[in-house]
Structure 1
Amino acid sequence: MAVLNLYSAEQARTIDRIAIEQAGVPGILLMKRAAFSAFQHLRAHWPQAQRIAVVCGVGNNGGDGFALAQYATLAGLQVDVLQVGPTHKIRGDALTMLHEMADLGLSGLPFDTNTLAEADVIVDALLGTGLDRPVEGAYRDSIEAINASGRPVLALDIPSGLSADTGQVLGSAVKAHLTTTFIVPKVGLYMEQGRECAGKIVCENLGVPLHTLAMQTPVARGLRWQDCVLPPRPAHAHKGRCGTALLIGGDALAGAIALTAEAALHAGAGLTQVVTRAEHRTALLCRNPALMVYDTLSPDRIEAASAIGIGPGLGQNDWGRQLLRQILHRDTPRVLDADALNLLAQTAMRADNWILTPHPGEAARLLGCSVAEVQADRIQAVRKLQQRYGGVIVLKGAGTLIDDGEHVDLCLHGNAGMATGGMGDVLTGILTALIAQGLPLPEAARSGVCLHAAAADLAAAQHGTRGLDPTQLLAPMQHLLN
């Protein structure tokens, strides 16, 4: 499986330091390489640009900006360097770049919004990856002016104001059209608000020896659907060999379990069985007569199941509690979602043969904390969930995370159209169907999450993100599977 290794800001700084101190790559050379590679991407992305505004801070990110200003000047572009922060705080390689820039006749100008408006492209070289507190004062004013300018933005290493570790906006953050990140990809670029702020992301290694990267274990692995490999379905396959997906839910509302069942059917389960309230049977069968719908959960039905998915529309009343109790201690692999998770939060149970699929609210209940705490560090949250509950955890969100106890994986697909009721029910059906067809839980979780989000991207490309219907994922999902 090909993956994109993702790193924290601290790991990136460690790799940078090792490259300088042990591999003998001078820091100033890395700064110049970073600036040159970013300038090449600027020229490729905006070939008609003739005037650029480079907004620089006082740290090494500003040094990258000073160096880029030199390359742009030598290439014949008109360059305005806007300085934010006192120049007496500029040190080390960044100061050298400032002096070299001055030798070309360039000097930093006070920040000015009119200069931004005249630029064809704005280069964000304000803050870099070391930010760990909300942006304030002149830096925040500059970020908000950049965003209000309406000009395209190239961010160096990371959009200023964005946490490189969590993808959270720290007070205010630049919304870039293109981010050129250096040496290693930072995990915060790929999740939560980082997905919106970063725009298109390119990573430049800058010639750092690969063995220095191997000294750090990535905090997460970025996955795409094309990285997942499912076994082909044999030509002699029959429904009995393709697994039985048993889906349980639908107390007061039948819609959630109906979506789950149709997703399981379209994801290739040989048999799709549903246990729901008797009054919902007709509605489900009218939607799809291929479903096998029951109003009781017998021991034989549990024994015959290859995989069980429970939770969509389950409710938290006695009916749902009793159904969950019947399958909690079974050896059959299970997917728990929605109200099954809310009920599980009231227990201290741990198991190795399940996938739990919480959204941030359900994760907060499972951990006994606030949603804000979950979202403040999603990687830490998914690790805590796995340690407490075992199995495989799928923490849904912008950049869904999967933790199997060995690796944390991050789905690189997905879009804002998935922010609608029913999307999680579809995912539960996909996961249950893949497990029923014989995939081990970690592979089913990784493949199912990527399949679900990649199908949503295809659906959004056709229909748009606003008002995307979960059922619109079924056809592109089936196309991707085949």
Structure 2
Amino acid sequence: MTTYEVRAALKNHARLSQLIYPAQQVRAQEQAAAEACGLSLYQLMELAGQAVFEHIQVTYPDKRHWLVCCGKGNNGGDGWVVARLAHQQGLRVEVWTLCPPEQLRGDAAQAYRNYLAASGTAPQIAAPQHWRGELIVDAILGNNVQGPVREPQLSAINWINQQTEKVVSIDLPSGLAADSGATVPVAIQADSTITLVAHKLAPLTGAGRQLAGQITLASLTIQDAFARLAAPVAQHFNWRDLPILPARSRHAHKGNHGHLLCVGSHRGMPGALALSGEAALRSGAGLVKLDSVAEHLPIYASRRAEWLLGTEQDLSQDLSWMSTLLLGPGLGQSDWSSKLFEQCLQFITRNPLPLLIDADGLNLLADSPQTLSHDCVLTPHPKEAARLLGCSVAQIERDRLQAAINIARKYQAICLLKGAGTIITDGDQHFVCAGGNPGMAVAGMGDVLSGIIAGLMAQGLTAFDAALFGCAVHAEAADRIARNRGERGILAADLFDQLPVLINHAVTTHTSQ
């Protein structure tokens, strides 16, 4: 690559394993895709059951006593295939059906008949009593959630969640809405999920990442035909998917790599701006200036000699100096905070420059909503997102993608909705970050993310590209620390040593070839 085109590179090199499809499209197109490959839907069901069975054999080879819980639809049919294959392999298999076998129809009925012929064992109709097995297969609903889960599925989900055995879900944890990620009202807590045909959104973001456990995609040999028929709604990506960034000019100077102004950190909150500012430096920004209250300046001067420093008295001059603005970390919501916020936004309105708003900047924006520009990145966590949209956190979490889209469109900006499976969107194109871990749920981690993204914007990346690149690097840095030391005890500042290594990996590859 000769230019910074992160979004285009990700989309151009996307594989089916990275693309995310609406559940309705998977249901609508899988038959046509199967037929294009010379397969009937029942043969596709056999392939699904085989994929699930093989996954369990590889992942849980010591589990020899299974309970397969089957619903009435095709997800239940997949379960009957799994049960038959397990029986034929000599495993101890029990089947709990939530639908009397005589009510089964179509391919699910055929799968049941084949199971019965192979095993000679009738399934259980009632919940198992005092069951002491080793593994449960959830084949209740999968991708077929159309509304609130009702009985007997609701009781079955609650029963499974009370067990201590490993749980494997087919396609999706039952009760999890495939597109929104809502639990209606509860969903299976799985240890692993085998997603069929193509990725759906719900297991990749928000609560779904916890509910799905380890996710494995089984494309069932129809991936090429399916990709020609269906249109993805979003794309999954991580640090390894990032494109090569151009090497810097040999005669570059600091002014070529941006003048980043970071405004925030009211009294008693010096750390937020310091974390953002150092993250920007570690990400390659040429010049970084921190504007805060005067009492913080000695703290900043003693911590990092490379910063430029200023107060609100310098803000007018510093706004004219900058090429990119980071507004909000530690800013607070006082009169002082509101005055600086309004001064910054008025300047940006008159002089459109790249802008990132985070933390209290988002709360102040929510108090006085205004249209920004696509050179602006907003980085809310769910509570801040709820304020931006005037709704509850629960509403945000019930459909994280739609919430991010609504923010992007309302404020005409790039929205990066933080959390498990961070979502990045301009309102039309949507990406989900595959990286990150629970160890990142500590103070200051968002300030570091904002500094990385703003530092990349200062170096010339577009707002969208900086959000994508910065999010992936931030997540990978935390993941490397977690792999080496575990998830507990990670500090936001621990990421600093990782950032130059990760940001420069592609440059090193580029210049060494």
Q: Same fold (TM over 0.5)?
A: yes
Equivalent in the alignment of 2:287: 271
4+ aligned runs moved over 4 Å, structure 1? 20-24, 111-116
C-alpha offsets along residues 112-166 of structure 1, whole Å, 9 cap, x if unaligned?
4457422x32211111112143434443332233233322222111111222112
Encode CA deviations 1:211-233: one digit per residue, 9 max, x unaligned: 43333321211110111123334
User: What is the match of residue 109 of structure 2?
Assistant: 95
Q: Residues 350 and 388 of structure 1 are in contact (CA less than 8 Å); yes or no, is this contact kept in structure 2?
A: no
**Where does residue 72 of structure 2 map in the other structure?**
58
The match for 2:336 is 319
Q: TM-score, normalised by structure 2?
A: 0.88
1:238 aligns with 2:253: yes
Q: Is the 8 A contact 1:113 1:145 kept in 2?
A: no
Is residue 25 of structure 1 aligned with residue 25 of structure 2? no
Which has the higher mean CA deviation after the structures are superposed, 1-10 or 84-93?
Answer: 84-93
Q: Following the alignment from structure 1 to structure 2, what is the Cα–Cα distance between the partners of residues 185 and 294?
A: 48
- For 2:272, the equivalent position in structure 1 comes to 256
Deviations 1:186-214 (A, max 9, x none): 11010111111111111111122624333
1:1-16 residue pairs with structure 2 within 5 A? 1=10, 2-3=13-14, 4-16=18-30
Please name the residue that 1:107 is paired with. Answer: 122
8 Å CA contact 2:99, 2:125 repeated in 1: no
Shift of residue 107, structure 1, vs aligned partner: 2.2
Correspondence 1:262-341 to 2 at 5 A: 262-295=278-311, 296-328=313-345, 329=349, 330-341=351-362
What secondary structure, in the 3-state scheme, does the structure 1 residue paired with 2:361 have? helix
1-structure distance, mates of 2:315, 2:387: 30
CA contact (8 A) 1:359 1:397 kept: yes
| Residues 143 and 172, structure 2, Cα contact 8 Å, conserved in 1 | yes
CA deviations over 1:71-118 (Å, ceiling 9, x no partner) = 222222222112223334321110111111111113212344457422
CA distance in 2, matches of 1:47, 1:368: 49
C-alpha separation in 1, matches of 2:150 and 2:482:
36
Residues 345-354 or 251-260, more deviating: 345-354
Question: How many residue pairs were aligned?
Answer: 481
CA displacement at 1:236 relative to structure 2: 3.9
Paired residues of 1:386 and 1:404 also in contact (CA < 8 A): yes
Match of 1:464 among 486, 499, 510: 486
Q: What is the CA distance between 1:170 and its match in structure 2? A: 2.5
5+ residue gaps, structure 1, are none
Structure 1 position 183 matched with structure 2 position 197:
yes
Which of these residues, 203, 207, 210, is aligned with residue 193 of structure 1? Answer: 207
TM-superposition CA deviations, 1:364-417 (whole Å, max 9, x none) = 222222222222111111111111111311111211111124410001112222
Deviation at 1:473? Answer: 1.9
What is the rounded CA distance, in whole Å, between the counterparts of 1:112 and 1:386 in structure 2? 46
- In the TM superposition, residue 310 of structure 1 has moved relative to its aligned partner by 0.5
Q: Which amino acid aligns with 2:181?
A: G
| 2:186 corresponds to 1:163 | no
Q: Is the contact made by 1:53 and 1:115 (CA closer than 8 Å) also made in structure 2?
A: no
1:392-443 deviation digits (Å, cap 9, x = unpaired): 1111121111112441000111222222222111111111101111111111
Q: Within 2, Cα distance between the matches of 1:195 and 1:298? A: 42
1:376 and 2:398 correspond: yes
Q: Is the contact between residue 158 and residue 198 of structure 1 (CA under 8 Å) also seen in structure 2?
A: yes
Aligned in 2, Cα 1:458/1:114: closer, same or farther, shift over 3 Å?
farther
**Larger RCO: Structure 1 or Structure 2 (Cα < 8 Å, ≥ 6 residues apart)?**
2
Post-superposition offset of 1:267: 1.5
User: Who is 1:41 aligned against?
Assistant: 55
Q: CA deviation at 1:251?
A: 1.4
Match for residue 135 of structure 1? 149
More divergent stretch after superposition (296-305 vs 91-100): 296-305
Q: CA deviation at 1:279?
A: 0.7
C-alpha separation in 2, matches of 1:23 and 1:42:
26
CA 212–176 in structure 1, closer or farther in 2 if over 3 Å, else same: same
CA distance in 2, matches of 1:197, 1:351: 36
Residues 464, 277 of structure 1: alpha-carbon distance in 2 compared, 3 angstrom cutoff = same
In 1, the alpha carbon distance for the partners of 2:452 and 2:155 equals 46
Q: Is the 8 A contact 1:124 1:155 kept in 2?
A: yes
> What SS is found at the alignment partner of 1:154?
strand
Does structure 1 retain, via aligned residues, the 8 Å contact 2:369–2:411?
Answer: no
| CA positional deviation for 1:309 | 0.3
Letter in structure 1 aligned against 2:200: K
CA separation in 1, counterparts of 2:372 and 2:259? 25
Partners of 1:214 and 1:299 lie apart in 2 by: 54
* Corresponding position of 1:420: 442
The letter for the 2-side match of 1:108 is P
SS in structure 2 of the partner of residue 241 of structure 1: helix
- 2:132 alignment partner, SS class: helix
Deviates more, 1:334-343 or 1:15-24: 15-24
Deviates more, 1:210-219 or 1:264-273: 210-219
Three-state SS of the structure 1 residue aligned to 2:488 is coil
Alignment of 1:379-398 (within 5 A): 379-398=401-420
**1:355 CA displacement:** 0.7
Are the counterparts in 2 of residues 136 and 171 from structure 1 also a CA contact under 8 Å?
no
Q: Which amino acid aligns with 1:343?
A: L
Shift of 1:461: 2.8
Q: 1:437 aligns with which of 428, 448, 459?
A: 459
Partner SS, residue 109 of structure 1:
coil
What's the secondary structure of 2:424's corresponding residue? strand
Does structure 2 conserve the Cα–Cα contact (< 8 Å) formed by 1:179 and 1:198? yes
Partners of 1:52 and 1:121 within 8 A in 2: yes
Q: Which stretch has the larger CA shift, 287-296 or 297-306?
A: 297-306
By how many angstroms is 1:21 displaced?
6.6
Find the aligned partners of 2:192 and 2:476 in 1 and give their Cα distance: 22
| SS, match of residue 117 in structure 1 | coil
Moved more, 133-142 or 256-265: 133-142
* CA–CA distance in structure 1, aligned partners of residues 158 and 284 of structure 2: 49
Superposed CA RMSD in Å reads 2.1
How far apart, CA to CA, are the structure 1 residues paired with 2:446 and 2:287? Answer: 21
Give the match's secondary structure for 1:222: strand
Q: Percent identity?
A: 38
Distance 2:374 2:234 in 1: 21
> Residue 188 of structure 2 contacts residue 211 of structure 2 at CA under 8 Å; is this kept in 1?
yes
Cα distance in 1 between the residues matched to 2:41 and 2:131: 30
